[in-house]
Amino acid sequence: MKQKFGLLVLFMLTFWACSDDDDTIALPKDHVVTFQEVELDFGESRELSSPNNALRRWYFGDSLMTASTSYQFVGDKVGDFTISAVTEQSQVIDSLVYQIKVFGEFAQGVIIVNGTSEEMDNGTLTFINKNNEIIPNAFETVNNANLSSGLISANTRTQDMYVVSYDGPNYISSINRETLLLNKNVTSSEADSPTYLNFYGDKGVLVNNSTENRTIYFWDVDANNIYSSNLSNLNDVPLIQSATLQVGDNLLIADGNNVYVYKDDVLQEIPLYTSDGFISGLLEDGRKNFYIATQQTGSAPAKLIHFDSSLTQKEVIELPINYSLPRNGNINSSGDNFYWQETSTGNLIKFDTTNQNITDLGSGYTYGLMFTTVIKENPFTQEIYIGGLSDFTTSKGMVIKLSPEGNLLETYNEVGYTPIDFVFNDKSLFN
């Protein structure tokens, strides 16, 4: 029997990677293995049953757990697990192998990044799960620790998210976005006040908030220090998420009314583009093209200048005169759509690059927001999320969810204080 089981294990290892869901593999002689894939949410349990109520030996990995007709698996840990149920009947060894994936508690839903807390002494993360349930102070609960105060932006890279504090002492906190477990804090910064974070290869790129030194700083993602880029001729980089953009091997940087190209540790002297007005943002569409958004100035309309990935200009889109594209409108992109706020009117705008259609989503006041701080599209559902303050006295946050067409779907209260960004999670990220 031991010899037969040894052969079973050998053949299981040989054929494991070749199996599809519920495919049965007939092994040489008298061995049969059936594979099943199971996905569970964190904390969910599942009874694994033996066909025909046959008595089986249940193995968790290599450890024998029990001999019974079923086994209760509890997903109390995140990760991939193997449960094998083995029986022998009529000289045939029959093994039923469950390949189980347990997702983290925060794998599906929306993470709200709040700039501050009720006590105004630290930033917080609030989670809205797939059932529209609000989980406040999610990071603090998981880690038994606080984020720094003065959170101003967030970004993602692979399965991690990063929140930036202009106050410190933790200027960047790296967090697993599926579990919200803290990976590490970056506690050293040559930038006086780091703000918006993007990525360029293996470097983080941050805009420094300073009236005298509003330039670019770098961060090696494996290090603990934000350091100077030594690009001293850049001094008017806008304080927005879309101030920088990686296109191929190039880093585009907005500075005043110019867009410069940085490559191979060198900033090209001649700008890629110079505008009459300020640069409002650098945006990538869903087809790997990019656009330079420029602010309306005088009689010159706001524009979206379309480039391909080789940095070749393709077209110039002039916006109607009632759209000024202010550079403090914090324009951002998701797929083929751009979003920004017209700060003079407070109106929230959606621009579809595929048909150049403009949708006015109304102002934050339309939905009960006294002050709008962020608008973004969920890339997995195309729903639109708007965050802001429900009142100025307490800085209480409110989040609005709209359909892709702009219809009101949900209003979320009690989401924290001063929401400044969203991170959207989907289980497909963690498979």
Can you give the pLDDT of all 431 residues of the chain as single tens digits? Answer: 333 333 333 334 333 334 445 555 554 458 899 999 999 999 999 999 998 899 999 999 899 999 999 999 999 999 999 999 999 877 789 999 999 999 999 999 999 999 999 988 899 999 999 999 999 999 999 999 999 999 999 999 989 999 999 999 999 999 999 999 999 999 999 999 999 999 999 999 999 998 777 899 999 988 889 999 999 899 999 999 999 999 999 999 999 999 999 999 999 999 999 999 999 999 999 999 999 999 999 989 999 999 999 999 999 999 999 999 998 888 999 999 999 999 989 999 999 999 999 999 999 999 999 999 999 999 999 999 999 999 888 899 999 999 999 999 999 999 999 999 999 999 999 98
User: What angle (nearest 5°) sits at the alpha carbon of residue 314, between those of residues 310 and 316?
Assistant: 135
Question: What is the chain's alpha carbon radius of gyration, rounded to the nearest angstrom?
Answer: 26
Task: Tell me whether strands 134-135 and 124-129 are parallel, antiparallel or unpaired.
Answer: antiparallel
Angle at 312 between CA 309 and CA 318, to 5 degrees: 105
Interacting residues of 96 by C-beta distance below 8 A, sequence separation 6+: 33, 34, 36, 50, 51, 56, 84, 85, 86
Three-state secondary structure call for residue 290: strand
pLDDT at position 120, please?
A: 87
Using alpha carbons, list the distances in angstroms from residue 152 to 157, 198, 222, 348, 402.
Answer: 17, 13, 22, 20, 24
Separation in Å, CA 416 to CA 126, 141, 363, 401, 423: 7, 14, 21, 16, 15
- 3-class DSSP state of 429: helix
- Spatial contact of 395 and 417, defined as CB atoms under 8 Å apart: yes
For residues 123 and 125, give the distance between their C-alpha atoms in angstroms, rounded to a whole number: 7
Q: How far apart are CA 326 and CA 302, in angstroms?
A: 9
Enumerate the H helices of 166-214 as residue ranges: none
Whole-Å CA distances, 257 to 236, 254, 260, 311, 333: 9, 7, 10, 18, 20
Q: Tell me the two tokens of residue 23.
A: 């495919």
Interatomic CA distance for residues 289 and 109, integer angstroms: 28
Q: Which pLDDT does position 332 carry in this prediction? A: 96
Count the helices and strands in the chain (H runs, E runs): 2, 38
Nearest CA among 290, 198, 309 for reference residue 248:
309
Element housing 141 (H / E): helix 138-143
> Which amino acid, residue 430?
F
Report all structural domains of the chain as residue ranges with CATH numbers, in order of start. 2-102 (2.60.40), 109-430 (2.130.10.10)
- 3-state percent breakdown (helix, strand, coil) of the chain, nearest 5: 10, 50, 40
ω into residue 169 within 30 of 0, thus cis? yes
Estimate to the nearest angstrom the gap between the alpha carbon of 390 and the chain centroid. Answer: 25
H or E stretch at 40: strand 31-40
pLDDT for position 16: 39
Per-residue pLDDT, 92: 85
